[in-house]
Amino acid sequence: MQKVEVQLGERSYPINITHEFTSLLPELAAAAQVVIISNSVVAEHYLQSVISLFEQQPLHFLLPDGEAHKTLASFEQVLSFLLEQRMSRDLVLVALGGGVIGDLTGFVAACYQRGVRFVQIPTTLLSQVDSSVGGKTAVNHPLGKNMIGAFKQPEQVVINTAVLQTLPQREFAAGMAEVIKYGLLGDRQFIDWLLQHAEAIRQHDASILAQMIRHCCQMKADIVSRDETEQGERALLNLGHTFGHAIEAFMGYGTWLHGEAVAAGMMMAAKLAHSRGWLTAAEVEVCSTLLMAFDLPIAPPPTMSIHDFLPYMKADKKVKAGKMRFVLPTALGKSSVVADVTESELLQVFA
């Protein structure tokens, strides 16, 4: 087992990276009230294994699979179930699934009776390296992704790398977009490592995957420990997301997977950085090569023009004082939050 600690004082918690469903903290395993939130696809494979981790039989609530169900309606369904079952503030919620389940369950945990404990058991690569760590929880709205939510840290994150063997290839590739993001935003050596081990990653080499996941979790844990509520440095984790969230909302949630939209968004950010002289053409090509190595898109949907992006980007959570803010690479392995990108500049670059 490998372990990463998210250092947040009294709210610190461990991320355990294993190849099986084990290692729950004793006080969580012994909880008297436990409800597992999952979806029908994940539950078929892993629900019984997770149930066996607890000393008393947990209840479970299953949602349909997919980003289209990360909504206030689903949020209300889960709350209604908890109220019907007369769950108290001693409740432990368990998010068993990908980013949709993790984000939704965390938001419920933040709100139910003003806050209950919850555990993240992520079952997609994307959720293992990114969304399960750091306490961002939310649901989507037709006018914007993740616009309704709260910061709520889990008590523990349990990552079972073996579940990736049943993950569809498209979902695995989407997770690789978030992996690549860590290299582009702040670790040039990690970019080289990913290029060197691309074939082993594609073949799901267990040792390589564990190293990769641990590295991403450690990077995110370090950033979150320094900036939990995204007042500064944590915003760098949104590289590619301003463009990506616009793609998801415009195309309809679930049409493009989150990682696919982020991949295209990172290339748009790289091209914008190149237009400013921050990235060379060769460095933009490295970004493209890395994304294509994992069958990720390097361009936005052909049906979208920059005019389609603008309404969503103007409503993005990073907007301050009416100004759009973007995370742009300033070199390979370095990035910065930029607040002086104009509409005319976007129209010129992406015409």
Asked if 160 is an active-site residue, the reply is no
Please give the helix or strand (H or E) that residue 102 lies within, else none.
helix 99-111
Give the contacts of 345 (CB within 8 A, at least 6 positions apart): 272, 275
| Helix/strand/coil for 310 | helix
**Active-site choice (67, 155, 171, 178):** 178
Examine the residue annotation and report whether 234 is marked as an active-site residue of this protein.
Answer: yes
Catalytic residue among 241, 317, 318, 325: 241
CA-CA distance, 97 to 91, in Å (whole number)?
19
Strands 2-6 and 13-18, by their bridges, are antiparallel
Cα 236 → chain centroid: 13
DSSP per-residue string spanning 164-198:
GGGS-HHHHHHHHHHHHHHHHHH-HHHHHHHHHTH
Question: Which of 245, 274, 317, 318 is an active site residue?
Answer: 245
Annotation says 86 is catalytic: no
Q: Catalytic annotation on 245?
A: yes
Q: Which of 238, 260, 283, 325 is catalytic?
A: 238
Please state, in angstroms and rounded to a whole number, the distance separating the CA atoms of residues 213 and 208. 9
Q: Which of 117, 181, 220, 274 is catalytic?
A: 220
Which of these is catalytic: 230, 248, 260, 283?
230
Active site (annotated) includes residue 238: yes
Which of these is catalytic: 117, 145, 214, 258? Answer: 258
Residue type, 155: E
Task: Indicate if 60 belongs to the active site.
Answer: no
Question: Which of the residues 70, 136, 152, 215 is marked catalytic?
Answer: 136
Catalytic residues: 114, 136, 178, 220, 230, 234, 238, 241, 245, 258
